[in-house]
Chain A
């Protein structure tokens, strides 16, 4: 069956079974391999993408359920929070093996867009579905705090200018 998906701002036509997980389509059909396959059972969060701005596990999202929703993958995130996250991830040297990190960043970005200055509890709750086998959780939390402070300082400066 043919589906027209909106992925990273572009209309993409794919032919596949409606039960196929979106993750397979992103990686195998469209070559967007930044989104990772971790567990295939929505238990680890490595495959997190945004559906209309909200984080979803693409391994558990059937192609037929995507509809007209805007899909955003790690390849196309942008904006002040995304830039702040990228910078803080580098500054804190967050990744160890790195496999889970695109999912971590997608969840962290959705969190910062919803709660610009999250508490430790906000971070722990929002990120609890993203597993890191290298246990970089403390660096992830610190980097999210850094990114929040940096993005908020930037927006304060532009508001004051």
Chain B
């Protein structure tokens, strides 16, 4: 993975004399002091992160946390006061006007919270706007715009006008407008925030689906943690102009950097955030790697580790079954040659890694044994005990 966008020590000071504000920041003064002394507002302070090609990177924070400012500094709708924004290793802030216009036309497009469609243009012409500005001739831009409308399911409405469409459909036009120029980067500023919850989820799923078809680098601004968790490959959390934490959704929920980050989880349903692989633990059970070992030796190992049960894997780490001290002992009693295979606990099917936690909860309530988790190739990832499930649920209950 290579960094598509790199943000290095980015600052934005709004107000009458930004340089003055910058100097005070360098002297180590806080936001409030700077505002009191100079009337300058620090919008973004020392933001650094990098966004990899093809990922959905969500910048999350409450209003006023500087997230909209950051996204606008990526395409220089807002000029940074200090710091660098590198896109494909080119410094955006030092580009000439023509280079900047070229970058905006070719490499990045934007989707807006209030849709920002042109009311005097038809849906088709709106979708073709970016191409029109670039100077693509009419026949080609219309066919490309139509293709983009088709991707968002609005081909039939091409001749309508924006005010004839519902909010969700208008934002699809906004999305089509951004897709039509076929950019490598899409900036989405609270793109779904103005939509009602049902439509919002639908659009989120659609964005993820579009992303599966063709991977673009998406920078998504949101104030909604559920949304961030749903679509984000990684999330940056902003507070008062600073980036307080960057990580995958799981990392952020599991290890919130501070109380501010933690406060986002009020009301967040962790069962949708975590999947089976996230809470599977390899340490909970003894792993019996070679089925070739005798049943007696296996039983010895369980006793030695003071465990009741073990997981049997083949040399390639594929999950074969779960045995308990009890089933192994029972095998020792039988007349025929004792075997692992007959000692496996029955009805204990491994869970797929991506099974959401809410389903894991249901499954774990149906059995007394820890549930094994495997990846798509059948490799063993760990087991989930009932206690582990309860602990995870409990963590969300705390908040």
Whether chain B is bound by chain A comes out as no
